[in-house]
Amino acid sequence: MEKFDVIIGGTGPAGLGAAFRLIRHNPKMRILMIDREKVSTGGLRNDCKMNFTFPIGFPLENWTRTQAENYLELVIKELEPEILQKRNISTYFKRAENLGVALLDIKQTHLGTDGGLELIKKLIAKLGDLGVDIRLEHCLTAVNPDSGQIVTDRGTFGYEHLIIAPGRQGFRFLQTIMDSLNVSYIDHIVDIGVRIETKQENYPIVSDYYDPKFIFPDKVRTFCTNSGAAHVVMEKYHSSAGKPYYSVNGHAFSGEKKPNGLVNFAMLKTVEFTQPLASGQEFAENLGLQAMLMGGGKPIMQRVGDFRLGKRSKAEGFNDDLYNFRPTQPNCTPGDISLCMPAKILRGIWKSMKALDTIIPGVLHPGTIMYYPEIKLYANKPSFIDDNFQAYKNIYLIGDGAGTSRGITAAWASGIRAADGFIK
């Protein structure tokens, strides 16, 4: 059996952050990185916009501003991002402030889905050159802490330290690992919302600020704005009973692709359960399945004009007249989102959209499309035994799957912080 000083499960930004930190600290360290896919599957692969300002992506229960800013400096040093310039946005800041809405001033870069893939290849090649053993299409299935071994679909490997970073899609896998290690965890937060798609002329701020972060009262925020060659996509998930459901999402290609004149972004409301403590995952699944019921197995899309009139959208409304652009995700079902979205969430989001339309007049054009549901799970947050995300002796759980991050840069920072746990 092959043995390593460190095994890292997952080649997303969390795993990469750990690998770079460790190999740069000690070039002789024997490090194995595995991923079940041919190429990492998270945000580096999809749109790849990176935010380098606290608190974007940093869960406040895990990070102080000072900690996050210190680690962000290291992330910047490794990734050397070209920060996008913002222009002409003081009016938006003033209008937002007058309405009690915050517009955050974030350092950002955007590579696009194609640019992200190139970056992943570059980073993996660089790690290989530095001496990290990278094995793709190796799926981690179990951990045996007593013998210091992991089990994969390609064999068993020994470790001194193990870092597991399986991302959001590894939610259930991580749950199985934590159950097997008797690590307790909590899953009580979820973000639910809609993805808005409109013409760029209705949301012109994006020419000056690529991904503007508005924070509204009632825990509603804008999230993941895409423009240029921007598209809405459907991501497939399965409920615990194995039933399929979709969440919408968005991405854009880099500046080299032909722009389509459209913008998309999410309006999300954070829902946090207290008593009786519900599982965010189960709540989200139920909403996802409810939307599938209404949409005949697909997400729902509704024009703002129809929503305002209290009527469902129909296929014939997606035409070239008033509703003057075609949806980039035509596989969704024209319908009525108010039939399947909880009232409190819908009220919070609609109120925030009206505020946004006051800050950027035009975004609520009748032709604007709302796609539902967009679901962001917040992971099963483990109880850690130290400040470096160690959840069990010599086993570190990091990244979006373990709730230590909610974005690429914070995931990378989590990897460095876990590595620092045993470099110390």
Ligand X SMILES: Cc1cc2nc3c(=O)[nH]c(=O)nc-3n(C[C@H](O)[C@H](O)[C@H](O)COP(=O)(O)OP(=O)(O)OC[C@H]3O[C@@H](n4cnc5c(N)ncnc54)[C@H](O)[C@@H]3O)c2cc1C
Using CB under 6 A, list all residues that contact ligand X: 9-15, 34-37, 40-44, 46-51, 57, 139-140, 165-168, 170, 173, 224, 249, 399-401, 405-408, 411
Contact criterion met (CB below 8 Å) for 304 and 317: no
Please tell me whether the peptide bond between 276 and the residue prior to it is cis, using omega within 30 degrees of 0: yes
Closer of 168 and 303 to ligand X (Cβ): 168
Residue 109: phi and psi, rounded to 5, are -140, 155
- The least CB distance from residue 247 to ligand X, in Å, is 9
Q: Which is nearer to ligand X, 53 or 249 (CB)?
A: 249
Residue 175 or 368 having the CB closest to ligand X: 175
Closest approach, Cβ 398 to ligand X, in A, equals 7
- Backbone torsions φ then ψ of 13, nearest 5 degrees: -60, -30
CB 400 within 8 A of CB 46: no
In terms of CB distance, is 248 or 364 closer to ligand X?
248
Tokens representing 160 are 């001194």
Which tokens in the block code for residue 295?
Answer: 């949409």
Tell me whether residue 75 or residue 363 sits nearer to ligand X (CB atom): 75
Which of 35, 306 has the CB closer to ligand X?
35
Task: Kindly tell me which of 255 and 361 has the beta carbon lying closer to ligand X.
Answer: 255
Shortest spacing between CB 39 and ligand X, in angstroms? 7
Residue 135 Cβ, how far from ligand X at the closest point, in Å? 10
Greatest Cα pair distance, the chain, in angstroms, is 67
> Is the Cβ of residue 171 or residue 307 nearer to ligand X in the bound state?
171
Q: Which runs of consecutive H residues, i.e. helices, occur in 80-149? A: 90-98, 112-130
Whether 280 and 189 have beta carbons less than 8 Å apart is answered as yes
State the minimum distance, in angstroms, from the CB of residue 402 to ligand X. Answer: 8
User: What does 153-221 look like in DSSP terms, one character per residue?
Assistant: TTEEEEEEEEEE---GGGHHHHHHHHHHHT--EE--EEEEEEEEEEEGGGSGGGGT-SS-EEEETTTEE
Strand bridging mode 185-186 / 381-382: antiparallel
Minimum CB distance to ligand X, residue 378 (Å): 11
Contact between residue 421 and residue 386 where contact means Cβ atoms under 8 Å apart: yes
**Cβ distance 189 to 378 under 8 Å?**
yes
Q: Residue 147, class by beta-carbon neighbours within 10 Å (0-12 exposed, 13-18 middle, 19+ buried)? A: exposed
Closest by CA to 106, choosing from 224, 220, 201, is 224
* Contact residues for 123 (Cβ-Cβ < 8 A; gap 6+): 16, 20
User: CB of residue 231 vs ligand X: minimum separation in angstroms?
Assistant: 11
265 Cβ partners below 8 Å, 6+ apart? 195, 196, 203, 211, 222, 223, 224, 225, 226, 250
Q: Closest distance between ligand X and the C-beta of residue 91, in Å?
A: 26
Specify the residue for token string 């590894």.
170
Shortest CB 20 distance to ligand X, Å: 13
Report in angstroms how near the CB of residue 153 gets to ligand X at its nearest: 9
Judged by beta carbon, residue 69 or residue 357, the one nearer ligand X is: 69
Please report how close the Cβ of residue 254 comes to ligand X at its closest, in angstroms: 12
Question: Quick one: tokens of 369?
Answer: 């499309």
Q: Select 228 or 334, whichever has its Cβ closest to ligand X.
A: 228
* Residue number with CB closer to ligand X (36 or 269): 36
